[in-house]
Amino acid sequence: MARTATTAPAPAARDEGQWALGSREPLNANERVKHVEDPLLVRERIERVYVRTGFAGIDPDDLRNRFRWWGLYTQRRPGIDGGGTAVLPPEELDDEYFMLRVRVDGGRLDLAQLRAIAEVSTRYARDTADITDRQNIQFHWIRVEDMPDIWRILEAAGLSTTEACGDCPRVVLGSPVAGVSAAEVLDATPAIEEITARWIGDPSLSNLPRKFKSTISWLADVPYEANDIAFVGVVHPEHGPGFDLRVGGGLSTSPMLAQRLGTFVPLADVPDVWLGVIRLFRDYGYRRLRHRARLKFLVADWGSERFRRVLEEEYLGRPLADGPAPELPPAPIDHIGVHRQRDGRYYVGAAPVVGRVSGTALAELATIAERHGSGRIRLTPYQKLLVLDVADPAPLVADLRGIGLEAEPSPFRRATMACTGIEYCKLAIVETKGRAVTLVAELERRLAGLPVEISVNLNGCPNACARTQVADIGLKGQLVVDESGRRVEGFQVHLGGGLTMAAGQEGGFGRKLRGLKTTAADLPDYVERLARRYHAGRTGPA
Ligand code: SF4
């Protein structure tokens, strides 16, 4: 007897919480908090209620979620080591002080803004100030009671903490030399200004599946490949200068470089295309699992062709022009040193050690810049800063050195970055900033005169805030077992380019090398060995 063919029902696709597919019920705790109330509204509660109750009166959902939309994170309670990070409940990791992030879109600061930052640092933040690898400034030791005064000082100078953290559009990275570089063909600043003026703090974009990181720069002097959206300058053979569009970059635990969509975007269209992409992310992004909610997972599942089609058809209502790929520099551009501007004056790029400065130093920087005829400072995404518009740079270089900002740094100081680490970050497993300072000093002493330039990025956990995977030596904090069998702070090592060969491994960029770990105590020895081997490999036997 012939059997009747049956069609098995297709398995139901898993509900990923995508709004565009009708999934509006929150599928996890973070989504519930955003669903209950727009996180931006917490500011009113901070100014009216928490300023009186202090830390003890803060609702936990506000404390650990909504506060972020105003740049506030609880900092780590001192004295808890990396072993406590994974096992202690959040309330035991919370200190009653906050980290506060100030967004500096495009890294652009005038002297009044610099002085406002210095004032907040010295009055309310125990003189702390870090330049982050996303052109932000971060303070520590902030009390909730002081937030109204802090906002008053910052906002009077045109600065903001709005959406500096949280599931929303974060600071927009831009070239630190936008508008002054002789190599720049098109200044992207108008697009950055339009986006920040129109869309930062807009409630229609304040509930995204996760954070949304942007970069818009003619020069590829920002880490465009690690952002959710990146516009990089390119000249189209018919349309002239404009931007190549990439989407879906992100590092952390499932790193993916941003993918080209093969489109050409004129400068005037950048804000609309940015808006289209962020709306697409809001509507189609995955909201079920936090660790799969970044845009890169949607781009990976859809592919760039489908992503472009949905963007054009559902969000822009028109096709984008095809465009060529830009020429990209072989190595990051950090702008350290003295450089001529296109107007004939100079800019000077100077390096603090791993981005750590202070309010006192920033106030002195404002005085020095003014004395040398400059009214403009830029922050870079490599934890450095630039003084623009100087007629005679040599005396400025000397004055900067006097406040710990080095325009002629050693290669190690120049190319070492570190995330916040266990000193303040609740997710950290190991200490980073202090270790990086020691590492730089040790390498300067041990390898003085050795012509190797290698970048070292220290990260306190797998989240890769200091971009583990795109350094020559990327270090991911974890507990490791030392020679005597004790669990101690250490790092898993990612090696890039020629350094993989120096370690006796197959070459490859930013590869996590299985089994390659070092204790934190051995880190200077480890990096020294690697640098010497790398140098010997390049130069051959003497
Ligand atoms: Fe904190 Fe980890 Fe980011 Fe470092 S990489 S700042 S430890 S979350």
Q: Ligand 1, from 170, 425, 468, 475: best to mutate by most atoms within 8 Å of Cβ?
A: 425
| Residue 513 confidence class, pLDDT cut points 50, 70, 90 | low
CA 428 to chain centre: 16
Distance CA 241, CA 105 (A): 23
Ligand 1 centroid distance, CA of 419 (Å): 6
Do 263 and 245 meet the contact criterion of CB atoms below 8 Å apart? yes
Atom 2, ligand 1: residue with shortest CA distance: 461
**pLDDT of 6 higher than 50:** no
277 vs 464, more confident:
277
Give per-residue pLDDT as tens, 241-250: 999 999 999 9
Please report the atom of ligand 1 found closest to the CA of residue 426. 1
Contact between 349 and 386 under an 8 Å Cβ cutoff? The reply is yes
**Residue 54 has what pLDDT?**
98
Q: Which of 430, 431, 459, 468 to mutate to test the pocket of ligand 1 (most atoms within 8 A of CB)?
A: 459
pLDDT digits (tens, 9 = 90+) for 457-486: 999 999 999 988 888 899 999 999 999 999
The pLDDT of 391-418, averaged and rounded, is: 96
Cα(225) to centroid(ligand 1), Å:
19
pLDDT band at residue 512 under the 50/70/90 scheme: low
pLDDT tier for residue 168 given thresholds of 50, 70 and 90? very high
Q: Calculate ∠ Cα 273-274-275, nearest 5°.
A: 90
> Cα(225)–Cα(8) distance, rounded to whole angstroms?
43
Dihedral sign (CA 512, 513, 519, 525) = negative
d(CA 45, CA 406): 43
Q: What is the pLDDT of residues 312-337, one digit of tens each?
A: 999 999 999 999 999 988 888 999 99
Has residue 504 got a pLDDT over 70?
A: no
Measure 465 CA to ligand 1 centroid, in angstroms.
6
- pLDDT tens digits, one per residue of 21-54: 999 999 999 999 999 999 999 999 999 999 999 9
Looking at residue 511, its pLDDT comes to: 58
Q: Which amino acid is residue 379, in one-letter code?
A: L
Q: What is the ipTM of this complex?
A: 0.99
Proportion of the chain above pLDDT 70, given as a percent: 94
For 33, 46, 54, 332, 517, the CA distances from 57, given in Å and listed in that order, are 18, 10, 6, 46, 43
158 CA from centroid of ligand 1 (Å): 28
Axis crossing angle, helix 295-302 with helix 270-284, rounded to the nearest 10: 90
Confidence of residue 410 (pLDDT cuts 50, 70, 90): very high
Q: Of 337, 335, 341, 339, whose CA–CA distance to 382 is shortest? A: 335
Nearest protein CA to atom 3 of ligand 1, as residue: 465
Distance 354 CA to ligand 1 centre (A): 14
Quote the pLDDT of residue 254: 85
Average pLDDT of the residues of the chain = 93
Distance 457 CA to ligand 1 centre (A): 12
508 has a pLDDT exceeding 70: no
Q: Which residues contact 461 (CB under 8 A, 6 or more apart)?
A: 85, 425, 427, 428, 429, 430, 476, 477, 478
Average pLDDT over residues 203-222: 97
pTM > 0.80: yes or no: yes
SS (H, E, C) 22-58: CCCCCCCHHHHHHHHCCHHHHHHHHHHHHHHHCHHHC
Q: Indicate the pLDDT class of residue 1, thresholds 50, 70 and 90.
A: very low
Task: Kindly tell me if the per-residue pLDDT of 281 is higher than 70.
Answer: yes
Which residues sit with their C-beta closer than 6 Å to ligand 1?
Answer: 419-421, 425, 427-428, 459-461, 463-465
In this prediction, what percent of the chain has a pLDDT beyond 90?
84
**Average pLDDT rounded to a whole number, residues 407-422:** 95
